[in-house]
Amino acid sequence: MTTFLTIFLVLVGINIALVVVSLLSVSQKPKTSSQKLSDQRPTAIYPLDLLTTSYKKAV
């Protein structure tokens, strides 16, 4: 095998291993119930004040 193909196959193997580990860790996390979500207060969302910004002339 060439060096490029060896490095490529090693990187693909590492990538597959990381995907498998991440998928297994996602399935092990406890699921939050809808009761817990309804007990939480919604966070406040503030609008951006983009239109009232004053700009200085460059010249």
Condensed to tens digits (0 to 9), the pLDDT of residues 24-36 reads 888 776 665 555 6
Give 9's contacts (C-beta < 8 A, 6+ positions apart): 1
Residue 3, CA distances (Å) to 7, 11, 45, 49 in order? 6, 12, 53, 55
Total number of residues shown for the chain: 59
**pLDDT of residue 8 exceeding 90:** yes
Question: Residue 49 pLDDT more than 90?
Answer: no
pTM score of the predicted model: 0.46
DSSP state of 47: P
pLDDT for res 27: 75
Taking the C-alpha atoms of residue 10 and residue 8, their distance in angstroms, rounded to an integer, is 5
In the chain, domain spans: 1-27
